[in-house]
Structure 1
Amino acid sequence: MRAAPVAARRVTATDVARRAGTSQSAVSRVFTPGASVSADLRERVMQAARDLSYRPNAIARSLSTRRSRIVAVVVAELGNQFYPLVLEALSARLQEKGYQILLFTTGPGAAGDPVIEQVMRYQVDAVVLASAGLSSALARECRGLGVPVVMFNRTTDDPELSCVTGDNERGGHRIARFLAAGGHRRPAFIAGLEGSSTSRDRERGFTAGLAEAGLAPPARSVGYYSYEGAAEAARTLLRAPARPDAVFCANDHMAIACIEVARHEFGLSIPDDLSVVGFDDVGPARWRSFDLTSFSQPLGPMVEATIGMLLEFMETPDLPTRRVVVEGNLVLRGSARLR
């Protein structure tokens, strides 16, 4: 009978240190992002690691340093094209800082708080809460356990929680003034989730802007931040006796659904019969099929502010909470008439 193969012994930091003629702690510093190491020592250690095919053991390091260098990111609306862009940007910037993301998802429109138990099972160094559908309970629990947390693209009334958002209320206000200036007299609004701060703030700004222009509050329906929900919301609005002449949707994902329903189910011309405006300015907004006028979410600055805040909180946990609002701009395209 042939004997079972013997597994090769894993190369350790001690082996690398011996080959490089240095200490194990020096090897650890070389593989720690941001650590101060001389160029000569770094090259000797890296050459020894290449010779031995050594790879650092992140789990073992986390046990000794009590840092996993993992950041949990909680999202729900992956069908919304904005959030894959958020994940890509967060992951790229965190990797540059020596961190990896651990993704947690919840169902679109779900309360989502059961994810708390899942997140707490992992030794994450920080949490980014990027889901409009979650309550603030996860953020409060993380903060109570000393885990830094930043709410991304949403706000909360809790003064103990930090957040980074686009300028949602000003964006809604700007869209209202734009539509009023274009001669629209019956604008409507498709909301996201009723409990979502982003949808609430965009609607508040929109309603205020319409009032300043002498227009009545908008007819509204709820699209739940989903394609199917927005399609049904658009049908409800477009069947009304006083059909709207413009629809502002709380994000681009829903605006695209509105355009397709208006065109293919009601035979309407965009923008001659109906103007449609979104929010986020995701990639499909620029596609010729939609050519969507949208208020741009400044993703790069929002991600930079979020990561900067997380790193500061990880180094100095007692820093006061912060709220950052990053300005955006209305991007004019062909889905909304100017006059």
Structure 2
Amino acid sequence: MVASKVTSLDVARLAGVSQSAVSRVFTPGASASKKTIEKVRKAAEQLGYRPNVLARAMVSGRSRIIGLIVAYLNNQFYPEALERLSNALQERGYHVLIFMASHSSNNIDNVVEEILDFQVDGIIAASVALSSDLSERCRAADVPMVLFNRAQDDPAMSSVTSDNVAGGRKVAEFLLAGRHKKIGYIAGWEGASTQRDREAGFVAALRDAGTNLHAREVGNFTTKEAQEAARRMFASDPPDAVFVANDHMAMAVMDTLRFELGLKIPQDVSIVGYDDVAVAAWPAYDLTTVRQPANRMVAETVDILLSKIENPDAGPRRIEIDGPLIVRGSARIPEGWKT
């Protein structure tokens, strides 16, 4: 025999309050007296009552669920950022559903359609790019979206990134100040705005100084392809410094150069990354890198999304946050450089 499900009415009767009072106690942001809250929660615990979040969403029209899309978690920047995003949203009374996607446009389209089926209040897309058709689909469904650590040309789409162009420039200026003559670059996935902007700033600063890129390979933001890119780049006429488009690849490049090719870092070649993930500071890597201001990026992303949920007429915002160059031991430090 199946036991009958405990309802809010049962809790109200035991607590000696109205059913609406029970609803207020379990609704984020709703008001109830301390005495009422204590009585209701005590009765709920005694009866084993759990509020039906989905049923409440059908009545209120708000699920208080945010969908997070991420393409891959191998890059240590994203697990840390997603944890911060989840915590920040939960502090504001929202629940989080995480969906995995790939760089394939068809896969991303399918994932977003699936998220919309969950009646989410908003979407944060991290490390993925969206088609204009898909962006319009979300707008038609009145589901606001913010891109995290990605940007795109759609003027109606909000996005939060570090200032990737400025970050690339800082790396070039640092390597030039260290008197490097043959400077290489290992790119990430070329469909990513972060990759495009980091390289654009880096190459522009080299050209401003009268220097051209000595070598270029593509690592697609993966360990294996970054290792292969390093082998190709150092097969002949190797560079004396390399900017790698993120830390995840930079550490793979460092391991390949040291343990396969027998090179010393930074004596034979300087390596600089981008992100400043926690592992970058480990003595095994001691990686010089551009820090992504993750806390500020998360705060801006959450503020933009929740503001749009509360005020659908709010306009899009595109935010770029400057991040510092963190100088460690993987690259030659220019004489007189202030760290």
Q: Do both share a fold (TM > 0.5)? A: yes
Paired residue for 1:138? 134
Q: Is 1:178 matched with 2:174?
A: yes
Paired residue for 2:271? 276
Paired residue for 2:192? 196
Equivalenced residues, count: 332
Alignment of 1:101-140 (within 5 A): 101-107=96-102, 109-111=103-105, 112-113=107-108, 114-132=110-128, 134-135=130-131, 137-140=133-136
Tell me if the contact between 1:76 and 1:133 (Cα under 8 Å) persists in the aligned partners. Answer: no
- Residue 39 of structure 1 deviates from its aligned partner by 2.0
Structure 2 counterpart of 1:29, from 10, 24, 28:
24
Structure 1 unaligned segments of length 5 or more: list them.
1-5
Query: Which consecutive segments of 4 or more residues in structure 1 shift more than 4 A?
Result: 133-137
Paired residue for 1:227? 223
Identity of paired residues, percent?
51
Partners of 1:318 and 1:306 in 2: CA distance: 17
Partners of 2:74 and 2:263 in 1: CA distance: 26
- CA offsets per residue over residues 224-255 of structure 1, 9 Å max, x none? 111111111111111132x1111111110010
| Secondary structure at 1:221 match in 2 | strand
Partners of 1:162 and 1:75 in 2: CA distance: 17
Structure 1 counterpart of 2:245, from 245, 250, 263:
250
Structure 2 counterpart of 1:157, from 132, 153, 169:
153
- Residue 121 of structure 1 deviates from its aligned partner by 2.3
Paired residue for 1:3? none
Q: Which amino acid aligns with 1:336?
A: A
Partners of 2:10 and 2:182 in 1: CA distance: 74
Q: Which amino acid aligns with 1:110?
A: S
- Residue 8 of structure 1 deviates from its aligned partner by 1.9
TM-score, normalisation: structure 1? 0.94
- Residue 137 of structure 1 deviates from its aligned partner by 4.5
Partners of 2:232 and 2:137 in 1: CA distance: 39
Paired residue for 1:208? 204
Paired residue for 1:9? 4
Q: Is 1:239 matched with 2:235?
A: yes
- Residue 218 of structure 1 deviates from its aligned partner by 4.6
- Residue 69 of structure 1 deviates from its aligned partner by 1.6
Paired residue for 2:319? 324
Partners of 1:219 and 1:119 in 2: CA distance: 42
Q: Which amino acid aligns with 1:147?
A: V
Partners of 2:216 and 2:251 in 1: CA distance: 17
- Residue 119 of structure 1 deviates from its aligned partner by 2.1
- CA offsets per residue over residues 143-181 of structure 1, 9 Å max, x none? 221101000001111111001111111111001101110
Paired residue for 2:37? 42
- Cα RMSD (Å): 1.5
Q: Which amino acid aligns with 1:197?
A: S
Tell me if the contact between 1:190 and 1:220 (Cα under 8 Å) persists in the aligned partners. Answer: yes
